[in-house]
């Protein structure tokens, strides 16, 4: 139970810009008088999974809990939309705490040769930038595990992100308490039979881009894209944490388990 008393709870609002949600957003503002995120105790996200992801990134600097109300399509990370009794729902909410990934991406010399850092809650993905397939070298905890993966790309997914892009690329759905990351290739050509790997949460993953001048690759941490990378290091950032709030009957762990048995 994240809150003991909701009578003085200060709510921040992050919402979709879709036209059909404007009435709901106006209603929320009239009822709950949201404050800037710098003054808030909790962030309420109104929209779809993309809005929820934006809210989580906005909440990260202060590590505020985030409660989502689905006003989008899938809404996997959100609760059913209903503004009635919201503070009581927050009082009953069950919390899921996660750690984001930290990406450190180094660009080619001709692209500036700089190292850019960004957090990812769902995944870090690698994507070829041209018509030619990417060639990637995979090093896990300083041990080379794959000298050359020829592919369209690669995904490093957290359990929360395992039901998103990772699942679309035929990666495994990860239980929240599994303490593993999914390493999933996108359209792998060689090795033809390689289907990815499951790695410990504390693994350090280094991806070297081979022939980067001829086969440029971009690295994307959720919303942050870095183009023309030559080396990317990924690890779980244990110094940062995020709290997602769910109605007891909509707990994320159970929904992720159900997702594995859907037709």
Do 213 and 182 sit in the same domain of this protein? yes
What percentage of the chain's residues is helix, strand, coil (to nearest 5)?
25, 40, 40
Residue 178 has pLDDT above 90, yes or no: no
Tokens of 136: 């990637």
Measure the CA–CA gap between 70 and 44, rounded to whole angstroms.
11
Residue 186 has pLDDT above 60, yes or no: yes
Confidence of residue 4 (pLDDT cuts 50, 70, 90): low
Average pLDDT over residues 39-64: 95
Please report, for residues 12, 30, 235, the alpha-carbon distance to residue 105 in angstroms, rounded to integers and kept in the order given: 32, 43, 12
CATH number of the CATH domain containing 190: 2.60.200.30
- At 69 the pLDDT is 95
- At 6 the pLDDT is 59
Confidence of residue 262 (pLDDT cuts 50, 70, 90): confident
Confidence of residue 2 (pLDDT cuts 50, 70, 90): low
pLDDT tens per residue across span 69-100:
999 777 788 999 999 999 999 999 999 999 99
pLDDT tens per residue across span 121-130:
999 999 999 9
Q: Which helix (H) or strand (E) holds 105?
A: strand 101-107
Whether the CB-CB separation of 255 and 76 falls below 8 Å is answered with yes
Measure the CA–CA gap between 121 and 112, rounded to whole angstroms.
27
Do 109 and 150 sit in the same domain of this protein? yes
CA 20 to chain centre: 25
Do 113 and 227 sit in the same domain of this protein? yes
pLDDT tens per residue across span 130-166:
999 999 999 999 999 999 999 999 999 999 999 999 9
Q: Enumerate the active-site residues.
A: 49
Residue 51 has pLDDT above 80, yes or no: yes
Domain extent for 109: 101-236
- Tell me the β-bridge partners of 150: 135, 190
Structural domains of the chain, count: 2
Do 192 and 112 sit in the same domain of this protein? yes
Do 60 and 76 sit in the same domain of this protein? yes
Residue 119 lies in a domain: yes
CATH number of the CATH domain containing 58: 3.40.50.10330
Q: Which helix (H) or strand (E) holds 35?
A: none
- At 3 the pLDDT is 61
Buried b (16+ CB within 10 A) or exposed e, 57-70: bbbbeeebbbbbbb
């Amino acid at each position: 139970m994240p809150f003991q008393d909701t009578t003085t709870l200060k709510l921040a609002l992050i919402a979709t810009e879709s036209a059909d949600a404007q009435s709901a957003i106006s209603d929320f503002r009239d009822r709950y008088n949201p404050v800037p995120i710098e003054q808030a105790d909790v962030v309420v996200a109104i929209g779809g999974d993309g809005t929820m992801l934006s809210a989580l990134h906005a909440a990260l600097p202060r590590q505020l809990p985030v409660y989502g109300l689905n006003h989008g399509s899938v809404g996997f990370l959100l609760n059913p939309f209903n503004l009635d009794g919201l503070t009581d729902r927050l009082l009953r909410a069950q919390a899921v705490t996660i750690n984001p990934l930290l990406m450190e991406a180094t660009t080619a010399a001709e692209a500036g040769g700089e190292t850019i850092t960004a957090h990812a809650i769902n995944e870090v993905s690698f994507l070829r930038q041209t018509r030619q397939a990417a060639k990637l070298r995979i090093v896990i905890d300083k041990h080379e595990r794959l000298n050359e993966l020829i592919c369209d790309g690669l995904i490093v997914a957290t359990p929360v992100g395992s039901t998103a892009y990772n699942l679309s690329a035929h990666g495994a759905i990860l239980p929240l308490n599994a303490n593993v990351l999914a390493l999933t290739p996108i359209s792998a050509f060689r090795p033809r039979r390689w289907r990815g790997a499951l790695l410990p949460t504390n693994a350090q993953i280094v991806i070297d881009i081979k022939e980067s001048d001829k086969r440029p690759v971009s690295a994307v941490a959720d919303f942050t894209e870095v183009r023309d990378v030559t080396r990317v290091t990924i690890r779980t950032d244990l110094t940062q944490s995020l709290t997602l709030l769910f109605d007891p009957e909509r707990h994320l762990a159970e929904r992720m388990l159900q997702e594995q048995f859907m037709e």
